Structure 1
Amino acid sequence: MEKYLDIFKNSYQGYFNYLLDEITRFHWENYFYGLIIVSLIVWGLELAFPWRRNQKIFRKDFWLDTFYMFFNFFLLNLIVLIFLSNASEQIFNDLLGTVHIYLKDFQLVNLNSLPFGLGLLIFFLVSDFVQWNTHRLLHRVPFLWNFHKLHHSVKEMGFAAHLRYHWMEPVVYKSILYIPLAIIGGFEVEQVAIVHFFALTVGHLNHANLGWDYGFLKYIFNNPKMHIWHHAKDLPAHTKYGVNYGLTLSIWDYLFGTNHVPYSGRDIELGFDGDEQFPKGFFNQEVYPLSKTKK
């Protein structure tokens, strides 16, 4: 128990110091100012090249989504995720240790031993593919779908909708991603930062009020014209669990047959069945899945 108390203390103290450093000191892998810069650039593109021209600059729930951006990107880590992540890692390693199994025994490759570009590509592909499968689970498992509904409660798309999600989602994503990343191991903070900012930018663009599909690159990268259909309220019966699950890459959807872009989705209705009863405020949205679990 003392070990976990130390993890709790060190997690909060370490992340608080990290967050303070992010805000007060600018450096190239700075996540705080990186989020602001990427958001301002993509918002500027929305204003310069709006796909839905009748959509207001400050669209429906713009400020709520902006709050979610900073809450989920920074405060959520401070409140729960850092300790939960560190504690889960320790518990997992302790359980394996009881049978004398260690993750390093399963490491297939050390990315540091590979040329930088190749190691970075493997890290990116593994991360994105695992997250694509996790995203499918969020739609197919009713318990997880109740959490994911928050992201699909967006009624007007804009860049900030990218980070409107329930705090439980990163717990699920990070838990499932932990073992695959441990198996490939060896990635450095610089690699994580590069992949993270690239995924952040593509994710912002996917949710932006932009009518882009990137031409032939649409078969590789997720894009606004494809992702709008992921948020469509009405879909064919055979796609009842959703379509276009890609986060950064669209290639997984084309490879596994979950792609669906029948026509321009510029003016389609967004949401899900019953979203009229979904809570509107932050607190009620956060506790919604718990209220559904009790029923």
Structure 2
Amino acid sequence: MEKYLDVIKNSYADYWNYLKQELIHINHWDNYFYGLIFISFAVWILEIAFPWRKEQSIFRKDFWLDTFYMFFNFFLLNLIILIALSNTAAEIFNDLLSVFGISLSDLQLFDVDNLPKWAGLFIFFLVSDFIQWNTHRLLHAIPFLWNFHKVHHSVKEMGFAAHLRYHWMEPVVYKSLLYIPIAIIGGFDAQDVAIVHFFAIAIGHLNHANLGWDYGPLKYILNNPKMHIWHHAKELPKHVRHGVNFGLTLSLWDYIFKTNHVPHSGRNIELGFEGDEHFPKDFINQELYPLSKKNK
């Protein structure tokens, strides 16, 4: 138990020191704090310059709520609980493996350090995106998880910051299901992860932005605003139960597994989910919603 308490204590200290360095030192390209700000401003300028829904305000409905969610989920959540929880869970998992005389390195299929840099990054990106696509499907298909995911689908007007409006339990689910597959590949350093992460953030922001783009032939590979708007549609097609267009960065998986659905542009479709008129409108109550008695 003392070992795990040390992990928790060190996680808080390490992340706090890391966050301070991110705020102070802006002269390295993989700075997540200023990288998020730069990508957000860049996509917001695109929204202002090329608005798809021209009647939508620049400061759309819930703009400031979603902006708060961005920084809470990306940084404060890590400081409050997520890093300590992730590190402790990883330590417990490794200890359980050691009971059977196994370590994660024993499970490693190959090391991307033995591959060209571009190939290693490509494999990391493909594996992580496919796992996240499947995880996203689970968030819709399992009622317990759907109650958490409703926070993200409570968006009524799309804009770039809606990308990071989600309940804090979602990254717990994503990180848990990603842990073993990524560990099996192995060999990634922080800058490798930063390259993929910044690309995913940029595509995610664009998917949620007030932009009417589909990237032409690339729409069959990359998720895009015209495709993702249908993922947020309040009215689902009659032939599906749990949703469509689950892609995060890549649309490829939806086309391969036949979960794609883009019947027309979708510019003015209603967003949300059945019963969303009763869903809380403020941050605190949205976070507490999955735990409320009516959802037991």
The TM-score bracket by the shorter chain reads over 0.9
Q: In the comparison of the two structures, how many residue pairs are matched?
A: 295
Question: Match for residue 52 of structure 2?
Answer: 51
SS at match of 1:237: coil
Question: Match for residue 251 of structure 2?
Answer: 250
In the TM superposition, what is the alpha-carbon distance from 1:239 to its structure 2 partner? Answer: 1.5
Residue pair 2:220, 2:251 contacting (<8 A) in 1 also: yes
> How does 1:11-50 map onto structure 2 within 5 Å?
11-26=11-26, 27-50=28-51
* Structure 1 stretches of 4+ moved >4 Å: none
Q: For residues 19-46 of structure 1, what are the alpha-carbon distances to aligned partners after superposition, in whole Å with 9 as ceiling and x for unaligned?
A: 0000110111000000000000000000
Letter in 2 for 1:21: Q
In the TM superposition, what is the alpha-carbon distance from 1:105 to its structure 2 partner? Answer: 1.1
2:237, 2:200 → 1: CA distance? 29
> How does 1:115-194 map onto structure 2 within 5 Å?
115-194=116-195
Letter in 1 for 2:214: D
In the TM superposition, what is the alpha-carbon distance from 1:102 to its structure 2 partner? Answer: 1.5
SS at match of 1:238: coil
Residue pair 1:143, 1:293 contacting (<8 A) in 2 also: no
Question: Match for residue 88 of structure 1?
Answer: 89
Residue pair 2:140, 2:243 contacting (<8 A) in 1 also: yes
1:236, 1:134 → 2: CA distance? 21
SS at match of 1:266: coil
Shift of the 131–292 alpha-carbon distance from structure 1 to 2, 3 Å rule, reads: farther
Q: When the two structures are superposed, what TM-score results if normalisation uses the length of structure 1?
A: 0.99
Question: Match for residue 5 of structure 1?
Answer: 5
1:122, 1:219 → 2: CA distance? 19
2:177, 2:294 → 1: CA distance? 22
Are residue 221 (structure 1) and residue 213 (structure 2) matched? no
Question: Match for residue 199 of structure 1?
Answer: 200
Shift of the 292–249 alpha-carbon distance from structure 1 to 2, 3 Å rule, reads: farther
In the TM superposition, what is the alpha-carbon distance from 1:293 to its structure 2 partner? Answer: 7.1
Shift of the 144–100 alpha-carbon distance from structure 1 to 2, 3 Å rule, reads: same
In the TM superposition, what is the alpha-carbon distance from 1:63 to its structure 2 partner? Answer: 0.2
Q: For residues 243-277 of structure 1, what are the alpha-carbon distances to aligned partners after superposition, in whole Å with 9 as ceiling and x for unaligned?
A: 00000000000000000000010000000000000
Identity of aligned residues (%): 74
Residue pair 2:148, 2:169 contacting (<8 A) in 1 also: yes
Residue pair 2:147, 2:295 contacting (<8 A) in 1 also: no
Letter in 2 for 1:277: H
1:195, 1:293 → 2: CA distance? 39
Shift of the 194–2 alpha-carbon distance from structure 1 to 2, 3 Å rule, reads: same
Letter in 1 for 2:216: G
Question: Match for residue 101 of structure 1?
Answer: 102
1:292, 1:232 → 2: CA distance? 27
Question: Considering only aligned residues, what root-mean-square deviation do their CA atoms show, in Å?
Answer: 0.8
SS at match of 1:89: helix
SS at match of 1:239: coil
In the TM superposition, what is the alpha-carbon distance from 1:215 to its structure 2 partner? Answer: 0.2
Shift of the 293–99 alpha-carbon distance from structure 1 to 2, 3 Å rule, reads: farther
Question: Match for residue 74 of structure 1?
Answer: 75
Letter in 2 for 1:136: R
SS at match of 1:78: helix
Shift of the 291–47 alpha-carbon distance from structure 1 to 2, 3 Å rule, reads: same
In the TM superposition, what is the alpha-carbon distance from 1:99 to its structure 2 partner? Answer: 1.1
In the TM superposition, what is the alpha-carbon distance from 1:237 to its structure 2 partner? Answer: 2.1
Letter in 1 for 2:81: V
Letter in 2 for 1:174: K
